[in-house]
Structure 1
Amino acid sequence: MELVTRLYDQFGFDTVDNSPLSESWRSAPGQPAWFAHEHQARAELIANLARARRIIVR
């Protein structure tokens, strides 16, 4: 994972670890990180992931 992160950084992309897989819902459709995915800096993405609220569908 660290190697891939460094490689992405070299390409000019900011990386944010959204692990483990069970937390992937934080970047799913309907969440703050999803709505702003094209126009957010690393700090904004981290904040948007933290702002996510789990949506329970019944």
Structure 2
Amino acid sequence: MADRNLLTLDSALAARAAALTPNATIVPTHYEGWSHFTEGADDLVARFREAGLADRLVFA
């Protein structure tokens, strides 16, 4: 995306955003169910694990 005006966050950007709120529990939404999604829950968990934040993810 050339202009970087994002409508949603990918897994890596979500992990970066979560790092800005160290006491927040992160409840992912809109990560599955549409064929145009390029990442799913496994990708999200992997990026959060790499960032040391996986313990803050709670899937509802």
Does the pair score TM above 0.5? no
Length-normalised TM-score, structure 1: 0.25
Between 1 and 2, higher relative CO (CA 8 Å, sep ≥ 6) is seen in: 2
Please tell me whether Structure 1 or Structure 2 has the larger radius of gyration of its CA atoms: 1
Length-normalised TM-score, structure 2: 0.25
The structure with more helix, counted as a fraction of residues: 1
